[in-house]
Structure 1
């Protein structure tokens, strides 16, 4: 389910105050990344999403985080 417009209006990094990291990845990061690629733009040199995800998901979560962490590491690299 898409976050509310109020949640998406957050100005904090990673919308940390209104979204879970997995929501931010799905509704903000991936669409922005896709838009940059489709526009032929330059990807950021560093995103540093993997360390945040590793920290956020250090406790058990309701999904298999291993593949996501590997993908995020690849994007960061």
Structure 2
């Protein structure tokens, strides 16, 4: 079982966040300067970092890092970095 975590925007991501997510987390913080905090959860063994109620940065089944808006109002962005 993996436990979630929280950290503030602008701070170093929590130690349990895979480093492969750091670049996309930083990018999303730049896109959402008024956001306040991140929440890390795990789904099917893969990390999901949610920025307030704006976007979720996660790893899909193929190992790609994706940024998905909460509520699906904007297109999903797939980063070029892959895990594995």
* TM-score with structure 2 setting the length: 0.29
More helix per residue: 1
More strand per residue: 2
Larger radius of gyration: 1
* TM-score with structure 1 setting the length: 0.31
